[in-house]
Amino acid sequence: MSRSLTVDATADHEVTGMIERVIADVPAPRSHEVERPDRAADELARSAAQRAAVVSGSLALPPGPFGMLTVLPDVYVIWRIQRQMVADIFGLYGRSAELTRTHMLYCLFRHAASQVLRDVAVRAGQRFVLEQLSSGALRSVLAAVGVAMSKRIAGASATRWVPIAGAAAVASYAYWDTLQVAKTARRLLSTGDAPAAPPAAG
């Protein structure tokens, strides 16, 4: 039992570290503000989802234990693709200056770790205002998201033992997952989310 707990804790820590690296640097957008950002964001999201599916499906092709070795690298690459997509969506709406690490964390993981992140965005009328977390609060949320994502990754990894069909399932999930990230980002932007006050130190 203690060995299992140690393995789980190590996996949680590794995944948390990956998430921290992904949100540490908010990338510059490769897009610019457009007149019809909703339509452009749809196209951008589909393109990013297709790229994520191809990458994830390709990395999942090796069967059995060889496929398991690609799990974390696969997840990290997908998160980086999604991170750039979020930055580009904010760019389409002319809101790049508002994009923070908290926004990025929320957009990337709200659909997958809803219990952890549900209180980060607060509805104010027709808007969602994203609370900008202090460094201490952000670390706590990161750790909780890391645990949640570690469990999801472990559960989804079983499909990699099934040749071909497993890779197709992984690719389909990467496509769907990327669209959910885009949906969260657009939800913040379309409801007029504004940057909250700067976080307190600590």
pLDDT of residue 72: 83
Q: What is the pLDDT along the chain (202 residues), one digit of tens a residue?
A: 444 434 467 778 889 999 999 999 999 999 999 999 999 999 999 999 999 999 988 877 666 554 455 678 888 999 999 999 999 999 999 999 999 988 999 999 988 887 777 767 665 555 566 667 777 778 888 888 888 888 887 766 655 555 555 678 888 999 999 999 999 999 888 754 444 434 444 4
Confidence at residue 122, expressed as pLDDT on a 0 to 100 scale: 62
List alpha helices for the chain, DSSP H: 2-24, 37-59, 64-68, 71-92, 101-109, 114-117, 135-156, 165-190
pLDDT of residue 45: 98
Q: Is the pTM of this model over 0.85?
A: no
Say which residue the tokens 């092709």 belong to: 61
Q: What is the pLDDT of residue 126?
A: 52
Rg (CA), the chain: 17
Q: Please report the pLDDT score of residue 160 as a whole number.
A: 56
Which of 179-198 are b and which e, b meaning 16 or more Cβ less than 10 Å from the residue's Cβ?
Answer: bbbbebbbebbeeebeeeee
19 CB contacts (<8 Å, ≥6 apart)? 79, 105, 108, 109, 142, 145, 146, 149
